[in-house]
């Protein structure tokens, strides 16, 4: 899990006094998550006498995360570190769209359609994709999964679209 932080002299949007933007932004994000969790668990009951309520543990961990996030942010101000890593939009975008497509079509269209669609959309995520071979592999993989999951593993998966079964 070695991420390679971008060394390119990207024009930093960070103010100058932030010397380690990676940590700075990371810490702030963690604090944001902690605040969100604290807000989300604010309706839960706290301590009742000496026994925990439903909200005690979430709040405890929330405050702990808030503190740790703050600490990381402070570290980000006072230590030297790499610039913000460069994000690419293409890979994450198409993979996410593929996953969403699968999630939205699996119930109505069945596994064969959902798997094919997800495969082809995900394939757009790489500029190296060649369509003939991609299509062949997509068909083979879908066929393999259609045999593996419902038959070999006995999992209840609907293969065909609902309108075709009726």
**Restricting to residues 22-41, which ones interact with other proteins according to CB under 8 A?**
22-23, 25-26, 29-30, 33-34, 37, 40-41
Nearer to other proteins, 17 or 50 (CB): 50
Alpha-carbon gap, residue 41 to 63, rounded angstroms: 12
Least distance CB 15 / other proteins (angstroms)? 18
Sign of CA dihedral 23, 29, 33, 38: positive
Is 133 a binding residue for other proteins by CB under 8 A? The answer is yes
Alpha-carbon gap, residue 5 to 130, rounded angstroms: 30
Q: Which of 18, 77, 83, 134 binds other proteins (CB under 8 A)?
A: 134
Nearer to other proteins, 3 or 165 (CB): 3
Q: Which of 130, 163, 165, 166 binds other proteins (CB under 8 A)?
A: 130
Give residues 49-88 in contact with other proteins (rule: CB under 8 A). Answer: 49-55, 57-58, 61-62, 64-65, 68-69, 71-72, 75, 85, 87-88
Q: Which helix (H) or strand (E) holds 11?
A: none
Q: What is the DSSP letter of 51?
A: B
Q: Which of 10, 129, 143, 147 binds other proteins (CB under 8 A)?
A: 129
Is 147 a binding residue for other proteins by CB under 8 A? The answer is no
CB contact at 8 A, 30 and 65: yes
Least distance CB 85 / other proteins (angstroms)? 4
Is 111 a binding residue for other proteins by CB under 8 A? The answer is yes
CB contact at 8 A, 138 and 116: yes
Is 109 a binding residue for other proteins by CB under 8 A? The answer is no
Token pair of 73 as six digits = 């942010």
CB contact at 8 A, 20 and 81: yes
Least distance CB 80 / other proteins (angstroms)? 14
Q: Following DSSP, what letter does each residue of 113-125 receive, concatenated? A: HHHHHHHHHHHTT
């Amino acid at each position: 899990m070695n991420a390679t932080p971008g060394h390119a002299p990207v024009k930093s949007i960070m103010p100058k006094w932030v010397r380690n933007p990676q940590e700075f932004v990371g810490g702030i994000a963690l604090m944001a998550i902690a605040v969100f969790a604290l807000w989300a668990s604010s309706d839960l009951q706290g301590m009742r006498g000496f026994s925990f309520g439903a909200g005690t543990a979430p709040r405890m961990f929330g405050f702990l995360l808030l503190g740790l996030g703050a600490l990381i942010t402070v570290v980000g101000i006072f230590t030297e570190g790499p610039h913000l890593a460069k994000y690419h939009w293409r890979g994450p975008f198409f993979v996410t769209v593929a996953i969403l497509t699968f999630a939205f079509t699996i119930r109505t269209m069945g596994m064969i359609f959902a798997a094919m669609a997800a495969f082809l959309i995900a394939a757009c995520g790489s500029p190296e994709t060649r369509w003939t071979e991609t299509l062949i592999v997509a068909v083979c993989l879908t066929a393999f999964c259609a045999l593996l999951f419902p038959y070999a593993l006995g999992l209840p998966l609907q293969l065909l679209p609902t309108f075709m079964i009726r």
